[in-house]
Structure 1
Amino acid sequence: MNRLKYQMVIQWSEEDDCFLVGFPDFPGQQWRTHGETYEEAVTHGIEALESLVMAYETSGDPLPEPSTVCAIA
């Protein structure tokens, strides 16, 4: 599961009338999937991220480094 430590951005789109899901760590991946509800967007986002990682691995392309944040306690 370590390979899935990537940011997943979920944002409401008035224009599309749904939640859009994107992965900023992957170049050219502004919006990858969507969902009518936030929960659906999360589910679709996880599926899309798994597929994206598998596609990189299948093609032999190196995965981008995941962005990290540091929470201050």
Structure 2
Amino acid sequence: MSEQVRLTAAVTHEDDWYVARCLEVEVASQGSTFEESLDNLREALELYFEDEPVPAVHDVITAPVQVRVA
């Protein structure tokens, strides 16, 4: 029996690629479009969870952060 878990992805546009990263586990993927990067991340996460336990998932609050750099 399969279950569904809701995870959080952060997607950035880097050069010609969209890079999707899961915030709850260290899994990332990329694609030539935003949607493709998320599809590829889903597939990578499904493969990852074949061997790893699903983490306890808590609501993620995202917020922009400004820092000074020299």
Tell me if TM exceeds 0.5: yes
- Considering Cα pairs closer than 8 Å and 6+ residues apart, tell me whether 1 or 2 has the greater RCO: 1
Structure number, greater radius of gyration: 2
8 Å CA contact 1:7, 1:66 repeated in 2: no
Distance between the aligned counterparts of 1:2 and 1:12, measured in 2?
30
- Which structure: greater strand fraction? 2
Runs of 4+ in 1 over 4 A off after TM superposition: none
Quick one: which amino acid aligns to residue 6 of structure 2?
A: K
How far 1:42 moved relative to its partner? 1.6
- Which structure: greater helix fraction? 1
- Structure 2: which 5+ runs fail to align? 62-70
How far 1:69 moved relative to its partner? 4.7
* Identity rate, percent: 20
8 Å CA contact 1:7, 1:67 repeated in 2: no
How far 1:20 moved relative to its partner? 0.5
Q: Which residue of 1 aligns with 2:11?
A: 10
How far 1:3 moved relative to its partner? 3.9
RMSD of Structure 2 on Structure 1 (CA): 2.2
Distance between the aligned counterparts of 1:52 and 1:68, measured in 2?
21
Q: TM-score, normalised by structure 2?
A: 0.66
How far 1:49 moved relative to its partner? 1.4
